[in-house]
Amino acid sequence: MSKASQEAYRKIRAGILSGHFPAGQFVPEDEFAQFCEMSRTPVREAIAELVAEMLLQRSGTNRVFVPVWSDDDDDELFALRAMLESHCAVRAARLISDEQIIQLRAHCDFIDRAIADAKGPDVSGFVEGNRHFHAVILAAAQSERLAQLMKFVVSQIVVHRTAEQYSRADMEQSQRDHRDLVRAFETRDEDWARALANTHIRRAASVYRTMRQGSDAGAD
């Protein structure tokens, strides 16, 4: 993508994640362009990339909208992510560099500060640190195929909505998983890394499922 298209992609993606563009809402191309304060050409390319990532969807009449995920969609995404993250952790345990382990520790320190914020857990900081932490593991796995699959499966909307429901105790448990993963990588223990990654994602799925059931009950 061109530099302008990358900027449009970043802005639209942020708008989707923040809820500015609600799920199920059709959004004209002109509205995206106005939101990005850009011409339609770079916006069009950004939309195509977001459709490929399933953050946007096209209707049969080629109208663009933010997709509505069903319960089955969410469950499948988490199941697929657990499998991919487990495979990623195994490769990372075998291939990770000392510098990448240092980076993981730094991201853990960043997350610790977000959790310990005196005003209450900093959810945005927690999400940012979590994203960077997992990005290092993916880079350490050294697999372009895996990276493409992860990009397709991992929805930051789900990640952020899950984190919004985390209590401080949930965040602290997630952080313990992160610290244990670092230790598994340090000792090059592939089986431990696999088990930790699987548990980590399935724990997040459980929080999300509880959140979803609470929302459904509230709707009644």
DSSP symbols for 145-179: HHHHHHHHH--HHHHHHHHHT--HHHHHHHHHHHH
The CA distance from 36 to 42, in Å, is 10
Contact, 200 vs 181, CB < 8 A? yes
Average pLDDT over residues 185-200: 98
Q: What does the pLDDT read at residue 213?
A: 75
Q: What percent of the chain has pLDDT over 90?
A: 64
The CA distance from 104 to 182, in Å, is 7
Q: What does the pLDDT read at residue 9?
A: 93
Q: What does the pLDDT read at residue 216?
A: 57
Nearest to 51 by CA among 62, 35, 36, 41: 62
Work out the burial of residue 35: count CB atoms within 10 Å of its CB; fewer than 13 is exposed, 13-18 middle, 19 or more buried. middle
Average pLDDT over residues 59-76: 88
For each of the domains in the chain, give its residue range(s) and CATH number, in order of start.
3-65 (1.10.10.10), 71-219 (1.20.120.530)
Exposure string for 158-183, b = 16+ CB within 10 A, e = fewer: bbbbbbeebeeebbeebbebbebbbe
Q: What does the pLDDT read at residue 220?
A: 46
Q: What does the pLDDT read at residue 115?
A: 95
Q: What is the pLDDT of residues 82-91, one digit of tens each?
A: 999 999 999 9
3-state secondary structure of 189: coil
